[in-house]
Amino acid sequence: MVTLISQNLNEFELHLRAILGLPIPKLEVFAPSASAVILASQHSAKIVFANVAEALNVEDVDIKLFGKPDSRPYRRMGVALAKGKTTADARAKATAAANTVVIVS
């Protein structure tokens, strides 16, 4: 998932090009990047995400919510993506953003 923020072609675009036999141009890496998972902590049939705007308020952070209809403990509900000056910086930003998003049920 980190390729969604780290480079000009993400993993999905590269997979599609490979399946269709299309050329893969030069890959450009934008910056050191990282991802952190947004996990559910309980069972719920009604998913509401809180604090998403706060998480997105950090520069070079993006949030992808998967749109799953229900949750259960440790189910991946989304991912926080971040770019940074270093990999450690990106990892810290992604982790902080993922921890900011709360799943309210």
- pLDDT single digits (tens) 51-100: 999 999 999 999 999 999 999 999 999 999 999 999 999 999 999 999 99
pTM (predicted TM-score): 0.89
Instruction: For residue 32, count CB atoms less than 10 angstroms from its CB and return exposed for 0-12, middle for 13-18, buried for 19 or more.
Output: middle
CATH number assigned to the domain covering 31-104 = 3.30.470.20
Polymer length in residues for the chain: 105
Q: Report pLDDT digits (tens) over 23-57.
A: 999 999 999 999 999 999 999 999 999 999 999 99
The closest alpha carbon to 64, from 73, 52, 54, 46, belongs to 52
